[in-house]
Every structure is written in structure tokens, then in C-alpha cells.
């Protein structure tokens, strides 16, 4: 084999990625509304107990990481598919 030999690469299935991107955009919208709900719950906890709920804090962090993973996938920054195709992001990772 010479250095000038062409290596054939199978064509990228762009249509499949486009479909997955649409699915991830819908998941992004849903997760954003979940984050709004968490923020409102945290506001309620802070009003009544003068401190945020630690479990909601962790969940809010993991939802934020999930949103970041989706943004990375749909902007072609990464090829790794977010949840439900991979694990849910850890709250303390």
C-alpha cells in the first residue's frame, strides 16, 4: 500500500443524525420546562424554609448538564448522543 492510496470511508448518515437532532431539540424543550419547574419549586422552598432543597439543587445541576449535552450534540460539537441513548448526567460529575 502506498502513501497516496485513497481510503474509502462509508458516507455519513446525515439524515439519521438530522432525525436524532430533531428528537434532541424536542427533549431540550421538555428539559428546559422541567428546569423552570425546578426553579419555581426551589423558589417556594426558599420562601418557606429560608434555604434551597439540596435534592432539587442536585437535580437542577443534572438537568443543566443534560441541556449542555444536547446543545453539544445538535451543534456538532460531539457525536455522543445524550439521554436516553446514554446515561443521565450525574449531579456531581
Q: Along the 93 residues of the chain, how does pLDDT read in single tens digits?
A: 455 554 443 456 788 888 999 999 999 999 999 999 999 999 999 999 989 999 999 999 999 999 999 999 999 888 888 988 888 888 765
Whether 31 and 60 have beta carbons less than 8 Å apart is answered as no
State the pLDDT at residue 9: 37
pLDDT at residue 36, rounded to an integer: 97
pLDDT value at residue 16: 86
pLDDT of residue 42: 95
Q: Can you give the residue ranges of every domain in the chain? A: 22-93
20 and 81 in contact (C-beta within 8 Å)?
yes
In degrees to the nearest 10, what's the CA dihedral of 34, 36, 42, 45?
Answer: -90
What cell numbers appear for 29 in the block? 424543550
User: H-type helices in the chain, by residue range?
Assistant: 14-49, 54-74
Whether a cis peptide bond, with omega within 30° of 0, leads into 84 is: yes
Quote the pLDDT of residue 68: 95
Q: What are 91's three cell numbers?
A: 449531579
Verdict on whether the full-model pTM lies above 0.85: no
Alpha carbon distance 89, 83 (integer Å): 8
Amino acid at each position: 500500500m502506498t502513501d497516496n492510496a485513497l481510503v474509502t470511508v462509508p458516507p455519513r448518515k446525515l439524515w439519521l443524525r438530522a432525525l436524532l437532532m430533531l428528537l434532541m431539540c424536542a427533549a431540550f424543550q421538555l428539559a428546559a420546562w422541567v428546569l423552570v419547574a425546578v426553579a419555581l419549586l426551589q423558589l417556594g422552598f426558599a420562601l418557606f424554609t429560608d434555604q434551597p432543597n439540596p435534592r432539587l439543587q442536585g437535580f437542577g445541576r443534572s438537568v443543566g448538564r443534560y441541556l449542555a449535552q444536547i446543545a453539544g450534540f445538535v451543534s456538532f460539537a460531539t457525536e455522543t448522543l445524550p439521554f436516553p441513548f446514554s446515561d443521565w448526567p450525574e449531579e456531581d460529575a
